[in-house]
Amino acid sequence: MTLLISSFQESKKLAINVAKSLKAEYTEIISKKFPDNESKIEFSKNPSNKTVIILVSFAKDPNKKIIETILAAGIAKDYKANKVILVATYLPYMRQDNHFENYDGMSAKKILTTLSNNFDEIIVIDPHLHRIKHLSQIAPNASSITVNKLIEDYVSKKFSNFKIVGPDEESQQWDKSIAKDLHQHATILKKTRFSSTHVKIASKNIHSPNILMIDDIISTGQTLLEAIKIVKKQGAKKVVCIGIHGVFANNSDNLIAKQAQLITTNTIPNKYAKIDVSPVIVDALRKYS
DSSP 86: E
Q: State how many domains the chain has.
A: 2
The stretches in the chain having pLDDT less than 50 are: none
Same domain for 43 and 96, yes or no, is: yes
DSSP 250: G
Residue 285: is it exposed, middle or buried by C-beta count within 10 angstroms (0-12/13-18/19+)? Answer: buried
pLDDT value for 195: 66
pLDDT in tens, 207-218: 899 999 999 999
C-alpha angle 9/43/51, rounded to 5°?
A: 100
Instruction: Report phi then psi at 119, rounded to 5.
Output: -130, 150
Contact 22, 14 (CB under 8 A): no
- The amino acid at residue 141 is N
Contact 29, 77 (CB under 8 A): no
pLDDT in tens, 134-190: 888 888 999 999 999 999 999 999 998 899 999 988 888 899 999 999 999 999 998
Domain extent, residue 158, equals 148-266
Tell me how far the alpha carbon of residue 25 is from its chain's centroid.
24
Same domain for 126 and 10, yes or no, is: yes
CA atoms 180, 278, 146, 130: torsion sign: positive
- The amino acid at residue 140 is P
pTM of the model: 0.93
pLDDT value for 61: 94
Same domain for 198 and 74, yes or no, is: no
Residue 213: CATH number of its domain: 3.40.50.2020
